[in-house]
Structure 1
């Protein structure tokens, strides 16, 4: 569904640009044609810039030291490029280009990749390719419905965890981006077998919600509003649950979607601050992939890092 939606929006965007160029040139207005086309092509950049300005305003009293304007500007430019590549190419047209990989059982842990809101498995293409090259079993389902309640993702996650565990015979590593991390927590609350999971890595997941979700209209976006009743109930359940699955939460001080930054952390988790990365671009952070690869190749406790004393910055 998301692939078809993004195919439509990408086609509409390009058709609007070409239509404007044709209309303006046909009336002998070349300057108007070029300026209008540039405006249409840069609409996503304007939205991303507004998100980062809101991030800077909302995050000024957060526990994480605010990112300087230079870092926010660099994150904005990179996310402009990454956003087009992911939402106008990988997800609408290349989401089947990298297949799941279930080799004969070996010594590696299996890795389950869970995408976020308005995404499909195409967002994981580079991850799928790398994990396959390393011989690591990996599944990346496209989870639907995309705009329903977060709880509706639970059956797909449960089936994928059980399939991967049955194939490898060992506990699964789960890597989840954005809303995917909250869906994994919902799965654990609704009876997900913690014994099947070695560790959960979340990447830019709004564990306490996000300020930006106040503008969301879908049921899952409303669940992601800051400290929403649904998220508070989830946290209360987790506080009473033992033993708990270990979490490593990667988050950024330049995230244009999940902010203020500290909302992407969990009490008791290994919370790791990566400075300078925007929301989707965070999936390309080498430290995250390397940490998962090390954990998959040699299942063992992941060294704990405290984001208050040590952080990694974007090169």
Structure 2
């Protein structure tokens, strides 16, 4: 569903830019295509007043440039056209597994870079595309559980759970429903609105309402027992910045990076590598 919608949106953007270029000149057509980058500027500028202490202009500029690239890569290429470019990887004899959970208005193509690297390491992974796209976050628990079960059956161990943005709340909703059936997982969340976000007021759907600050749904959501929470003071989607930190988690600050850019963070990838090494030693493989 998300892939089809994003294909339509990408083609519409190109069509409008071509029309403007044909009518008024190709320079104007390119500027029309760049409107997305201009809108992103507003999201970063507001952080100077939302976050305390405020990120510096240099950090915001660096984050904006990276976010233009990361968001175009995600929403104009990987998610609309390459959702299944990297199929779930369940190689025989795999010693460790990773479950990858995307965020709001995204799909599994968000993780294509990580999936390619994990495949090269012969690490098993499952990455669901959560549906319905704008439904309740509670509805995603069953898809997450199915992925966890696949990886546990293959490796004999609990997988490492990695989530971006809303995906971190989906993990918590899954834990509420299925946690009693599992040992404590190691979770890594990247820019997840654990305490809600101001920007959810601009979103559509039940899941956007659930992510609003002060929502009763969010207040009733349990935490997770073992979490590395990555956050950035330059997050134009999840803010104020501290809302991405889950109580009791190990918080990791990443500077000069925007919301989508957290998935490209070397610090987040290295945290996953450490978690994979630890999971293979901590939990005996079940035969």
**CA positional deviation for 1:36:** 2.7
Partner of residue 245, structure 1: 225
Contact between 1:204 and 1:258, CA under 8 Å: does it hold in 2?
yes
Spell out the pairing of 1:86-125 with structure 2 (5 A cutoff).
Answer: 86-106=74-94, 108-125=95-112
Partner of residue 128, structure 1: 115
**CA positional deviation for 1:192:** 3.2
Would you say how many aligned residue pairs link Structure 1 and Structure 2?
A: 281
Give TM-score scaled by structure 1 length. Answer: 0.85
- CA RMSD of the aligned region, Å? 1.6
Q: Does 1:184 align with 2:171?
A: yes
Structure 1 alignment gaps of length 5 or more: 25-32, 239-243, 302-315
Spell out the pairing of 1:70-89 with structure 2 (5 A cutoff).
Answer: 70-89=58-77
**CA positional deviation for 1:193:** 4.1
CA distance in 2, matches of 1:272, 1:296: 18
1:297 to 262, 277, 283: 277
CA distance in 2, matches of 1:15, 1:160: 38
Deviations for 1:154-204, whole angstroms, at most 9, x for unmatched residues?
110111111111111111110000000001001111233463453011000
Q: Does 1:13 align with 2:13?
A: yes
2:161 to 159, 163, 174: 174
Structure showing greater radius of gyration is: 1
Spell out the pairing of 1:255-294 with structure 2 (5 A cutoff).
Answer: 255-294=235-274
Contact between 2:165 and 2:191, CA under 8 Å: does it hold in 1?
yes
**CA positional deviation for 1:39:** 3.0
Change (3 A) 1:136 1:158: same
CA distance in 2, matches of 1:190, 1:295: 24
Partner of residue 50, structure 1: 42
Give TM-score scaled by structure 2 length. Answer: 0.93
CA distance in 2, matches of 1:117, 1:69: 27
**CA positional deviation for 1:77:** 1.1
